[in-house]
Amino acid sequence: MSFWDRIKLLFKVRTSAELDRMEDPRQVMEYAVHEQEAFLQTVRRGLVDVATAKQQLAQQVKMANARIPRLENLARQAVAIDREDVARMALNRKLTAVYELQCLELELADLEDEERKLFAAEQQIADRVASFRIQKDATSARYTAAETQVKIGETLSGVSGELGELSLALGRAEEKTRQMIARASALDALMAGGSFEPTVLGGEDMVERE
């Protein structure tokens, strides 16, 4: 591995570690739930659109069903008055209406099938969103508890270090105090033994010193 390859690898490792520290599982779960809820709303809007289109088609099917008998009646009336041209026209319109009715019924069946699929998908997504919410709450609670424990541990660790340093400082202070007391006691003993008699200056004798 070349020098630059090692530099790139080190940069990737550091970047990955920093991103890992920045990534909060609670935010990730919240985002996942939000996306699932948005998708659920899209499916529900699709259900509303399909239901609306199905209602419109059902109305058209109803109108087509009512139109066919009316055209048949017109054709019979035209034959009764020897208007075969009108009768043929009415029958042609009836055939067209029958064809349109068949197409409308096929479209209506397709919409009903699509509605069933969307309804099943809506139920599955709703269940998944509910499961995600429970998982999010549990993950957030566990992460918060672990984060609190880490903070407490770090605090206690810092306090332990400070207490250790204070103990060392107190030990040194006590040692110096003992040394100072010992030195003072030694000086008192020397002074009591006469080791610190003042030096005679100028050749003074005992009488002059007295």
The single-letter DSSP state of residue 90 is H
Q: What is the dihedral of CA 174, 179, 184, 189, to 10 degrees?
A: 130
Return the closest-CA partner of residue 27 out of 76, 74, 19. 19
With tokens 């699929």, the residue in question is 117
Position 2 pLDDT exceeds 80 = no
Give the model's pLDDT for residue 1: 54
The better pLDDT of the pair 118, 187 is held by: 118
Give the model's pLDDT for residue 182: 79
- What pLDDT digit, counting tens, does each position of 110-167 carry? 888 988 888 888 888 888 888 888 888 887 888 888 878 877 876 766 666 666 667 7
Give the model's pLDDT for residue 197: 54
The single-letter DSSP state of residue 204 is -
How far apart are the two ends of the chain, measured CA to CA in Å? 95
Contact, 97 vs 67, CB < 8 A? yes
